[in-house]
Amino acid sequence: MISKELLKSCKLCPRKCGAERFAGKLGFCRAGAEIKIARADLHMWEEPPISGTNGSGTVFFSGCNLQCCFCQNHVISAEGKGFVLTAKELADTFLMLQDRGAHNINLVTAATYVPQIIEALDIAGDKLNIPIVYNSGGYENIETLEMLRGYVDIFLPDLKYYSGELSSDYSGASDYFGCASRSLIKMHELVGSPKFDENGIMKRGVIVRHLVLPSCRHDSAKIIGWLADNFTPNEILISLMSQYTPMYKAKDIEALSRRTSTFEYEYVCRLVEGCGFDGFFQQRSAAEDKYVPEFFDKKYY
């Protein structure tokens, strides 16, 4: 079985740590051999063509191959909160969300569970007929992304940093930009340019997210410049986020201990507009912890 072979010595993400997950060994992401999620529900706070009017059928997976010091979801990404599902139960979860009217199935931080997710999607089969969204921190392996060919319709990756120093200090990944930039090119190859239905709901394509961090506007400028050099405005959408709020370990880091200023955010907005990209600009009111969903350690649905 493909998942068993890959999890014997895990190299699903760029860390390629070789964790023997079926032997109970955990790597950097803290994911074991079993599927572990912390929430499955309709989510209204994604970009408009993802959430639409009914909501995105969002599944939050436990563990993460990045350990961002400012992570809003640190109780699941770093602290392991969640509950275990079988592949069949995950498939049933996807179908439950579809039955509730979800516009799509939104897989959040799923890199370390790709083989099990593919198994669940195969179990659901033709009964699942809404787009699959891969919602990612951007730190991906090209080989793992290739496994998703024909399964994922929409990629929703972050492009967090250009600077290796920043990515090392804040997310423990000095090679972040190299991996994430290659991954973005691969994602676009897999699904192509954005496509929408008659109601404006996204059916295919890539939305690149970038969170503007305090004191990092010049790093943001380099990211926008790289996107402009590698994609035409009709090939991707950009979602520029202003929701940064000092949380988790960031409260104790001076440079991150404040919200992003209006000046910093608008500076990056003007760069995106100047490059001709279409996309989404977030209201400043989004920078509140009330938008962090509730997570669970027991199955609740």
Beta strands in the chain (DSSP E): 35-43, 56-61, 83-85, 105-108, 132-136, 154-157, 195-196, 202-211, 237-241, 279-281
Give the Cα-Cα-Cα angle 168, 174, 176 (nearest 5 degrees): 110
**Residues making up the binding site for [4Fe-4S] cluster:** 64, 68, 71
Q: Which SS3 state, helix, strand or coil, does residue 198 take?
A: coil
Tokens of 170: 């804040």
Tokens of 231: 């994609």
* Residues 247-273: b if buried by 16+ CB within 10 A, e if exposed: bbbbeeeeebeebbeeebbeebbebbe
Q: How far apart are CA 132 and CA 63, in angstroms?
A: 20
Cα dist from 103 to 19, 32, 139, 195, 219, whole Å = 35, 30, 26, 14, 34
**Residues making up the binding site:** 64, 68, 71
